[in-house]
Amino acid sequence: MNKRSAEETKKHILEAARAVFAEQGYSQASMRLIARASGISVGGLYLHFRNKEDLYLTFMQDWMKKLNDRTQEALLKIDDPIDAIRAFIMISIDFARWNREIIILQGRELGFTFGIDRKREFFRERRRVLANIVRKGIGKGAFRDCDADEVAKVIFNMLRGFIVSMVVDEEAIFSAEAYVELVLNGLIRRNNW
């Protein structure tokens, strides 16, 4: 099997695994079900992944990379820090809506500590992106003077709470646009500040 074919097979397996994990949950998903959904043998599946945990952690890493890549791609086209904050939040929320089942699975079955090191690095990277946007906004005079790292933590943790609320109880959540406006109202420089 050449390298390109192996990468395509792995990508196909991860797509099938997403569907199986979303439908069956982590505990009920099996390598056999994922192999069947992938259209490969169980032995073929084990050529790419040591076990179900390895497959899930790889899936999770791929999922986080897709969100980071999508965010970076959008931010490269945006110079205005206000629009950049808006884009970061909206991309995060849209991605969460599309991956609702996986977020529920993370909380319900896998708990906080499953893949914790990967999650921590992912969260740090997301906060770094936000802090850089805030710094840029302060430098351009668009945002009031503040501690960019602390503001990034506040925005990020509010966003995480918004996303959890969105996937658990959609009726109780306010609009994504209202959330963006709330965040920006706290950041945008006013003449009397």
Instruction: Identify the structural domains of the chain with CATH numbers, from first to last.
Output: 1-49 (1.10.10.60), 56-187 (1.10.357.10)
Q: What is the pLDDT of residues 153-185, one digit of tens each?
A: 999 999 988 888 877 776 666 677 888 888 898
Regarding predicted confidence, which is higher, 192 or 96?
96
CA separation for the pair 193, 189 (Å, rounded) = 7
At residue 141's C-alpha, the angle toward residues 184 and 86, to 5°, is: 30
**Does residue 112 have a pLDDT over 50?**
yes
Q: Which two tokens stand for residue 54?
A: 């390895």
The predicted structure's pLDDT at residue 123: 94
CA separation for the pair 43, 107 (Å, rounded) = 30
The predicted structure's pLDDT at residue 193: 47
Q: What is the pLDDT of residues 16-72, one digit of tens each?
A: 999 999 888 888 999 999 999 999 999 999 999 999 999 999 988 998 999 999 999
The predicted structure's pLDDT at residue 88: 97
**What pTM does this model have?**
0.85
CA separation for the pair 92, 122 (Å, rounded) = 13
Side-chain-facing half-sphere of 130: CA atoms under 13 Å: 28
Q: Which two tokens stand for residue 42?
A: 């169980």
CA separation for the pair 178, 40 (Å, rounded) = 46
**Does residue 75 have a pLDDT over 90?**
yes
Instruction: Please give the mean pLDDT across all residues of the chain.
Output: 89
Residues in the chain: 193
SS3 51: coil
CA separation for the pair 70, 76 (Å, rounded) = 10
